[in-house]
Structure 1
């Protein structure tokens, strides 16, 4: 058993999760509470954290066909020609993060702590630098390395 990312049709994440659960497949659709403002009101709504993605915990060899045949499932997400496997620790970290924070923002990451970068402007233009850390007292950040995402919660 391992966690895999499944790509769904647009705006069908919650329904895919319900359909997969009805088929006996363990799945996880991370739900984010977001404050939305309309012209006449402001309201907290629940929406999927990752658009068009649901995670399934399956034995890929025996259950991948069942997942693929579920309504509104497009396909598994692939990385280097293999289904993208998500670490159990990362799924647990997402669950814990969403329990502690609301209004979480998903940002694709390209630079990590320990990476070397070349400065493109300013006094140090052209110099290489090693990323030591990201600091901001008004944000809490959680990096999901295998997916290339960084979750950001803005604190009041």
Structure 2
């Protein structure tokens, strides 16, 4: 039987401490979820596929309010995430959806800002790197149409929204 007082809560970790905090939470018997994605990293001498957090400095704990303090006393945990003055709780379904999303082979891009149509953006990667453009439309977050200031044309670019940022 599932205790109705248990809920998923996002917690903020210290920088680059997600895996250590997750390990310590599970050692304490606290159910935690750290969404990881595989990514190819390249160094000067080699390439390697590594698992890194999908959302930097975040992990999720399934606890009751009695365990708040125990979570905060875990090495690597900085604080709970608050929304409207209360500790933010997440529906079980959102965690399930996140797990399903990560189970697919789709390449995921996570960014923490919202870019609206008509907004000026800076292109951070690819052949148009460092150009300023206007976001005209977005197709499935992979193909975006940008109006490039320099040439006055709109160009559809096959890139991720992760490679543009608002100015």
TM-score where L is the length of structure 2 = 0.65
1:71-122 deviations in Å (ceiling 9; x for gaps): 12111011111111122111111111111126422122536xxxxx78569x
User: 2:139 is paired with a residue of what secondary structure?
Assistant: coil
Is residue 93 of structure 1 aligned with residue 97 of structure 2?
A: yes
SS in 2 for 1:51: coil
Large movers: runs of 4+ above 6 Å: none
What are the superposed Cα offsets for residues 2-39 of structure 1, whole Å, 9 maximum, x if unpaired?
Answer: 11011111111011111111111110000110111222
Structure 1 residues 35, 69: closer, same or farther in 2, change over 3 A? same
Q: Distance in 2 between matches of 1:23 and 1:152?
A: 38
Cα distance in 2 for residues equivalent to 1:79 and 1:30 = 21
User: What count of residue pairs does the alignment treat as equivalent?
Assistant: 125
Confirm or deny that 1:108 pairs with 2:143: no
Equivalence for 2:152: none
Residue number in structure 2 paired with 1:17: 22
Structure with larger RCO (C-alpha < 8 A, sep 6+): 1
Alignment root-mean-square deviation, CA = 2.7
Gaps of 5+ in 1: 112-116, 122-132, 140-150
Runs (5+) with no aligned partner, structure 2: 1-5, 121-136, 144-159, 163-167
TM-score of the aligned structures, taking structure 1 as reference length:
0.69
Counterpart pick for 1:8 among 3, 7, 13:
13
